[in-house]
Amino acid sequence: MDSPAPPEKVVVLLKATGDAPILKQSKFKVLKSESFVFISEFLRKNLKIDSVFLYLNSSFSPSLDELIGTLHEAYNVDGKLIVNYSTTPAWG
């Protein structure tokens, strides 16, 4: 079986919610093997904020050790993993 290797990266779309600062670029390709914590660290560094709250599809927060590849497979919308970020809790 020599089926082509699946792409190693998936598209992640970062959307600001509430008062969160907006990123210059919102679409990224992220390695499937990265954990979700990668996104939160990326945002904290780029937005220079201490804490960030993350949600998928404007609803739930996955655990930070979840793999991007797994999340993308389960929750992508039109091929994109939509991550909403906020500086205060949203969608309690």
Question: Minimal distance in Å, beta carbon 22 to other proteins?
Answer: 24
* Cβ-based nearer residue to other proteins, 21 or 51: 51
Site size toward other proteins (CB under 8 A) is: 14
Cα separation, 29 vs 17, whole angstroms? 21
* Cβ-based nearer residue to other proteins, 25 or 63: 63
Beta strand residue intervals within 1-92, DSSP E = 9-16, 27-31, 53-56, 80-86
Pairing label, strands 53-56, 80-86: antiparallel
Torsion angle in degrees (nearest 10) through CA of 79, 85, 90, 92: 60
Q: Which residues between 9 and 38 bind other proteins (CB under 8 A)?
A: none
* Cβ-based nearer residue to other proteins, 23 or 66: 66
Q: Which residues between 43 and 82 bind other proteins (CB under 8 A)?
A: 57, 59-63, 65-66, 70, 73-75
